[in-house]
Amino acid sequence: MHSPRASSVERLLVLGVTILSLAACGDKGANAAPTAKGPGGAGGPGGRGRPPLVLAASDVAEIKRGPIEAGIPLSGDLRPLQTVVVRARLEGDLTGVYARPGQAVREGQLLAQFEPNQQTSDRRSAEADRESARTEVSAAQWNLDQTRELFRAGAVAEREVRVGEQSLAAAKARLAAAEARVRATSEGLADTRVLAPMSGVVESRAVEGNERVTRGAELFTLVRGDRLELAASVPERLAGTLRPGQAVRFSAQGRTLEGTVARVSPTIDPATRAVTVFVEVPNPGGALRGNTFVTGRAVGRTIDDAVLVPTTALRQAQEGVGAGRGAGSSTFVYRLRGQNAERAPVNLGLIDEAAGVAEVLDGLQPGDRVIVGNVAGVGPGTTVQILGGEGGRPGRQAATGARPATDSGSKRPAP
């Protein structure tokens, strides 16, 4: 049996527990209230909501019209159009070498000299034989003329005329042989003077003065540097668009060069499934060195007034995502409508990777603004704030409760 004092204590404990339970329920209700829709709720006029995505002005590009070119990428080493190895045409001793590597020479210029004594003697002997043969021909001709006169007078038989004709023919044959020997010895004498076969630059020299060399030995290498040639490999699927005379633009050593397609190989390499294309590049003054590496492209179709979008704005949709208008295209951009981003599927035409632009056939119009680059946190319906652009209007941060961004290039939601 409980006393009255004990009953009073129990009632006070029950009352305290009840008050604490009611207070806890009140706190839960207060915390859950802002999630309700309407005034004061998230998304409502008085709610804090999701903060905007802060972008720099460089993260947004305006769609404009401009020219675009379709091109096939080419790269490789520029080599001299013509390389000639000068070799010895006789065996002998060199008495002088007059050209050095890197020296510009003109066609016919003396590069080296062989000892010419033997060749000079051979030519003089051949010339003497030729003079003797000429004398024999002259004598045989005179004898034949006299014999013919006597035959017409009946003083000699016809056989004598035939003998005279044969003697003249033999003398003429000896004269022809002597003249041939003179030409051969003249060429041998000329070969003692090593001349440049073309105008160009000496790339290398393999001999020195007072050196004995054999016939066929390499003496010099000359290159023609006023025109260079590139032999580039093009994938089989692109080779059909290349034609001789097609313009090619290159960049090398900070310079822009122009060349033309000179030849296209008629066969495909079975190992690489590529076609070799030869491009000639003018090199006035030899400004570029042989074996300079260049990158460029063969210019194909050109559109002067295309709707252009930066390639950095293009994104690829995952399979099964992006239904609606333009659902047949897996390529899309994030276009800005006011301060909100929306997903805009696009159909593309030509793509100029070198210039970083693509032709838009459908989905965008000049004047539209798109988000470029790898911006994290952007999606359909995202509210954006552009610092340094028209999106960063005064008072916007105060309306959203965002703090000023200290880095204009930040790409993160304002806290």
Domain-ending residue, one of 171, 191, 211: 191
Question: In the prediction, which pLDDT does 16 show?
Answer: 53
293 and 323 assigned to the same domain: no
Percent of the chain with pLDDT over 90: 51
Q: Is the predicted pLDDT of residue 263 greater than 50, yes or no?
A: yes
- Counted domains in the chain: 3
Question: In the prediction, which pLDDT does 319 show?
Answer: 59
50-92 confidence digits (pLDDT tens): 788 888 888 999 999 999 887 888 888 999 988 999 999 999 9
CA separation for the pair 68, 66 (Å, rounded): 7
Q: Does some domain include residue 362? A: yes
295 and 323 assigned to the same domain: no
232 and 291 assigned to the same domain: yes
Domain-ending residue, one of 303, 332, 347: 303
Q: Does some domain include residue 413? A: no
CB-CB contact of 51 with 413 (8 Å): yes
| pTM of the entire predicted model | 0.56
CA separation for the pair 279, 284 (Å, rounded): 16
**CATH code of 363's domain:** 2.40.420
Q: Is the predicted pLDDT of residue 391 greater than 80, yes or no?
A: no
Question: In the prediction, which pLDDT does 252 show?
Answer: 81
Average pLDDT, the chain: 81
Q: How far is CA 51 from the centre of its chain?
A: 46
Three-class DSSP labels, 106-126: CCCCEEEEECCHHHHHHHHHH
152-174 confidence digits (pLDDT tens): 998 999 999 999 999 999 999 99
Q: By mean pLDDT, which of 182-191, 264-273, 366-375, 385-394 is the weakest? A: 385-394
Take residue 364 and report the two structure tokens written for it.
Answer: 């965008």
358 and 293 assigned to the same domain: no
For residue 87, which phi and psi values (nearest 5 degrees)?
-120, 160
- Other CB atoms within a 10 A radius of the CB of residue 282 amount to 14
Report the largest interatomic distance among the alpha carbons of the chain, rounded to a whole angstrom. 193
Q: Which domain holds residue 279?
A: 72-80+224-303
In this prediction, residues 42-54 reach a mean pLDDT of 58
293 and 330 assigned to the same domain: no
Residue 399's nearest CA partner among 48, 54, 55, 56 is: 48
Q: Does some domain include residue 405? A: no
Question: Is pLDDT larger for residue 309 or for residue 238?
Answer: 309
CB-CB contact of 369 with 66 (8 Å): no
Q: By mean pLDDT, which of 15-29, 57-71, 267-281 is the weakest? A: 15-29
**CATH code of 152's domain:** 1.10.287
Question: In the prediction, which pLDDT does 56 show?
Answer: 87
Which among 122-131, 235-244, 342-351 has the top mean pLDDT? 122-131
